Every structure is written in structure tokens, then in C-alpha cells.
Amino acid sequence: MLVYCGTATLRRRMKIATMTITIVITIAVATILRFIVAETNIHLDSLVSNATSRTTGPNRNRNWDKFISKPTIVRPNDDDSFRLENLASQGKIICGKYKCFFPLKNQIDMAYIVQQEPINGSVFHLWSTAWQFGLKIEKKHSLRHLAITPPETIKITKSFANRLNTNLTDIDAAGKHTRRYHEGDVVVQKVRIMPTPSLLFGCGERKNSYFFNNWETKLLAFVNDKKTFRQNLEDNIRTTRKLMKSQESCLSRDFQVFVDTCGDMYHLDLDRCFTEKYNRNIFDERKINNTIKCLASLKRRLDKTLLINSHSL
């Protein structure tokens, strides 16, 4: 018992000593930091004063910029920035008609979509408009989309372009190798990578047939809770059908969404609302009605395939 009490007393003394040392170190560090900040402010004031005297003195027209170091611009999440060392360029890189899809090495759920920018800067304007539109439908209708960040324009070198062109595969040309990029500006945007398994649903004949021919083996087979899956998918179908009767009905043109194993939908290629081919100001009632019918058929197939009806819930 005496040993226990002695041990406890020793522990208390050691704890008090440790706390005292910690307080002393903290005060010392704080003092040093205050001194550094004060010296830095004095140094900055001196630089400003010198720069002012240079621009107001006899040599005020002289270009002093070359003597003053420029601040380094650091992007947020710099390790995810669009740089060759960050892109998983091994294996096939999938390309659609205009864009290619470059996964990130260290972020398995993120990628960049990339398109060459013409001289007039039309791609950046188009993507920026689509980004704002995506934020709108997300806020107004609680619909998901794949874009994570606004688009940006990046200038690439010839060697950078050659590296991007290495493993490009055009899915619209039977998987043939393609070259898309050259020295100059490209528009890039960070997007989500859909989890596996997920499946693309569209109302075009080819996409629609592929979805229903494969959804039992490539999607439904991996659904753990089919009741929740059905409820979520029905909610998404209902919301999207309402969208077709709103100002955002332009999504009826080449309608396509990813469906995941939770029954959630993710809209993609929102820029189609603003291309010349699909002028958003034109109300295309035929396409809207076809999309509404297409979504209704998805609901019917959902009920039939899962063999769940309202009486069994």
C-alpha cells in the first residue's frame, strides 16, 4: 500500500513538473513569435517606404517591377491540380466526342475532364455556364451532378500535349486511338468518378438498350437493400419528371444520368443545354414528352424486375 501511495505521489510530482515545463515553453515560443512578427512588419514597412520613394522620386517612370519579387500563387488542393505527375495516365484514357477523362493518381474518386480550347475561348464560357446551371438544379431541385469545381483554363506545352495524347481511346469510334491536344490552352474541370458498380441510363436507343440489358448483372446484383434502392430511384424519377416541366427542361435533350447502387441519379454533360445544337431558349415539347415517357418506362421496369409492388411494402 505504501508503494502504491509513493508511486502516486511521484506521478503527481512528475505531472506538475511536466505542466510547468510546457507552460514555460509555450510562453517562450509566444515571445519569439511576437518578436518575429514585429521584425517582419518593420521590414515590410521599410520595403513599402522604399518602393514609394522610388515611384515618386526623379526616377518614378523607371520599371522597378523586376527588382521586386512577385508573390507565388499557390492553388488550393495543389496536390490535386492538373499536372502530369498527378494524372493516372497508364492504361486507356476514355474520350467522348469532345472531352477526355483523366483520373487522378491519388484520388480514386476524382478525375479531370479536358477539352482543347479554341482561340475564341468558347469552351470555357460554355463550361462556366454549365457549372452555374449545375449549382442551380442542385439547390432548386436537389439533383446531383458530377462537377466538383468550376472549370479553369490551363496553358500546356507541346510535350504536355503529347503525354496527354498517349493513350486516348475514342468510345464513339469503336475504341480507336485518337489525338486531341496540342500546345496552347485547354479547359479542365475536376469531376467525381462514379463508384463501381454504377450504370449509365439514357433515353437514346443505344444507351437505353444497354442499360436494361445489363442492369440486373451490373447494377442490381450489387444492391444490398433493394427496398431502399427502389424508393430512392422512384424519388429521383419523380423529381426529374418535375424538372422536365420547369425552366430546366433542356436536360431532356440527350437525357442521360448515372444510377448507383443506392438508387441515386447523377446528371452529366450539363453543357448540352447551352450548345448551338441544343439552344436552351427553344422549348422542345417533343423531346420533353419523350423523356417523361422514358422515365416512366424506367419506373415500370424497376417494379417488374424487383418484383416489388405497393402491397408487399
pLDDT (tens digit per residue) in 112-157: 999 999 988 899 999 999 999 999 999 998 899 999 999 999 999 9
Of 223, 202, 214, residue with least CA distance to 267: 202
Choose the weakest-confidence range: 75-89, 112-126, 290-304.
75-89
The pLDDT of residue 253 is above 80: yes
Query: Angle 122-141/226-243 helices, nearest 10 degrees?
Result: 120
Residue type, 156: I
| Domain assignments of the chain as residue spans, ordered by start | 2-67, 79-193, 197-313
Task: At 42, list the grid cell.
Answer: 518593420
Name residue 267's beta-bridge partners: 145, 257
Residue type, 256: Q
Choose the weakest-confidence range: 47-51, 81-85, 186-190.
47-51
Its pTM stands at: 0.67
Choose the weakest-confidence range: 16-20, 268-272, 284-288.
16-20
Q: How far is CA 123 from CA 128, 135, 162, 177, in A?
A: 8, 19, 21, 23
3-state DSSP assignment of residue 151:
coil
Burial of 31 (0-12, 13-18, 19+ CB in 10 A): exposed
Q: How far is CA 199 from CA 116, 258, 302, in A?
A: 28, 6, 14
How do residues 168-217 score in pLDDT, each as one tens digit? 988 766 667 778 999 999 999 999 998 889 999 999 898 999 999 999 99
pLDDT of residue 170: 84
Name residue 15's beta-bridge partners: none
Between residues 313 and 118, which one has the greater pLDDT?
A: 118
Between residues 17 and 142, which one has the greater pLDDT?
A: 142
User: Length of the chain, please?
Assistant: 313
Helix H or strand E encompassing 223: none
Class of domain 79-193: alpha beta
pLDDT of residue 282: 54
The pLDDT of residue 240 is above 80: yes
pLDDT of residue 156: 95
Instruction: Give the other-Cβ count within 10 Å of 266's Cβ.
Output: 20
pLDDT band at 61 (very low <50, low <70, confident <90, very high): very low
